[in-house]
Amino acid sequence: MNSTMQITSAMKMVSAAKLRRAQDAITQMRPYAEKLQEILVNVSASLGDNTEGSNYGKQREVKRVLLIAVTSNRGLCGGFNNNVIKQAKALMSTAYAGKEVKVLSIGKKASDVFKKTPNYYTKGFGDTPYAIYDDLKFADVAEIAEKVMAQFADGSFDRVDVIYNKFKNAASQELTSEQFLPVVPPAEGGTSKAEYIFEPDMETIVKDMVPKSLKAQLFKAILDSVASEHGARMTAMHKATDNASDLKKELKLYYNKARQASITNEILEIVGGAEALNG
């Protein structure tokens, strides 16, 4: 039991150290990604049908759906991975019931579950989606985003959603399902909160901004997931250490009671034997 406590305590400290770095990364990335997304939404209504950026904003009848399930490569983090997997299955049976749904797994835990089903999707991706965790970089995530965007643009999918755990704090993660493609249009009846001056022109700017924004959104989701993973594992290992400590106390009490009972029985046997000899 002592060795178990030492292991879980050490894992908690390791996760706490990794959490600090992951938290700093998502804290720095989130304002940039959210602002870029805000600008994209504000100008998307002005996109012409011939603008390259409009390829990612076309609203089509949803027949084929791609779910990007973002999990971790390792376990021992409570319900962190199971929540994402359950949400993906729930969307298949409810919102996208009757449609052709495929699941792109970013993280080995989701791959282990969905590769046993006909929904598992790897076309053009191979092992890349969960190999990125070995050395997480924007360039690797951008490569995945580009492939997803290309497959949406050529009509392979009519909608793409990202399912991940959004980082709130070390002890709390929010299960999130976001529309990745097509680009979310402005709210109906809403107007842009800001007026933009485009230089050299809107088409050139948007052509570059739309793909960049989508890559940033996916990278943000994965950074959120990484920070959430370490927070969830730290919390899980903290609870495991506490439970091991409580179990140790219970076992020690049980052992002491059993030992005392054994000693008492031995004393009674000795006393009984002595009295028999005296008699």
To the query of whether residue 256 is one of the catalytic residues in this protein, the response is no
Among 40, 47, 67, 77, the one annotated catalytic: 77
How far is residue 73 CA from its own chain's centroid? 10
Q: Which two tokens stand for residue 222?
A: 């994965």
Orientation of helix 2-44 relative to helix 202-278, angle to 10°: 160
- Site of tokens 């022109």: 201
Q: Where are the beta strands (DSSP E) in the chain?
A: 64-70, 100-106, 159-169, 172-181
Helix (H) or strand (E) holding 245: helix 202-278
Question: What backbone torsions phi and psi does residue 168 show, to the nearest 5 degrees?
Answer: -110, -55
And the tokens for 121?
């999707």
Say if residues 185 and 47 touch (Cβ distance below 8 Å): no
Q: How many H helices and E strands in the chain?
A: 6, 4
Cβ–Cβ < 8 Å for 13, 233? no
Catalytic residues: 77
